[in-house]
Amino acid sequence: MKVEGQERLLVVGAAAAMLLLVVIALVISFPEPAGIGCSSITCRPSFIAGNPSAATLCTGASAPTVGCLAATDYFYTLSIETSTFTFGEVLFKVVQPEGSVYAATTHGAFAILNASGHIVAAFNLTAGGPLAMSVSAGWSYFTSSTGVSSSSSLDSLYTIVIDMGSVNPTSQGYTFVAVGTGGYSGMTTPLALP
């Protein structure tokens, strides 16, 4: 009887060891995907926006910068500090201090400008809509003139312009957030808009 109990214990132990090896192999084969909120030092992919300008009043459509939808709208510009994402892998939104998405009273938009200051992609919302991109209504690309598409790298050569609508957003506690889409989940740490 003692030998029989030891044999069972050996079989159970061997089965437990095999199960542990299978779990370890699965963890190594299928690591957890890195979200875009990860530190660029510790994981990839990453997306970091920075250097938001002060809110500036538009003097007309595309004035003083491309990305302004209308006179009396306010806009921010942000640099892309680092990014390993494509245009099609990231969406943007503006969040209010209590956590809800900001709704522009009039126009609102996100625009991406190239190094020459030309618009290469845009997301415009309807008047009074939330200033947040959705997967189904992402970027409009100006492919014929720029060659930019959803698979193009969204890197530090580009600038983000946010048209906030006609209400002055200065010092209201709004933040900019980038959200992963497609195979990526998570979001960046909120970036304060001055």
3-state secondary structure labels for all residues of 23-76: HHHHHHHCCCCCCCCCCCCCCCCCEEEECCCCCEECCECCECCECECCCCCEEE
Can you give the pLDDT at residue 40?
33
**Model confidence pLDDT, tens digit, residues 47-73:** 899 989 999 999 888 877 777 888 889
Rounded Cα distance between 44 and 98, Å, is 30
**Cα atoms in the 13 Å half-sphere on the side-chain side of 45:** 21
Which residues does residue 159 pair with via DSSP β-bridges, in sequence order?
79, 113
What percent of the chain is predicted at pLDDT more than 90? 35
pTM over 0.85: no
If the chain, 194 residues long, is cut into consecutive pieces of 10 residues, what is the mean pLDDT of each piece?
A: 61 53 37 40 66 92 80 93 89 95 86 90 81 78 79 92 93 94 83 96
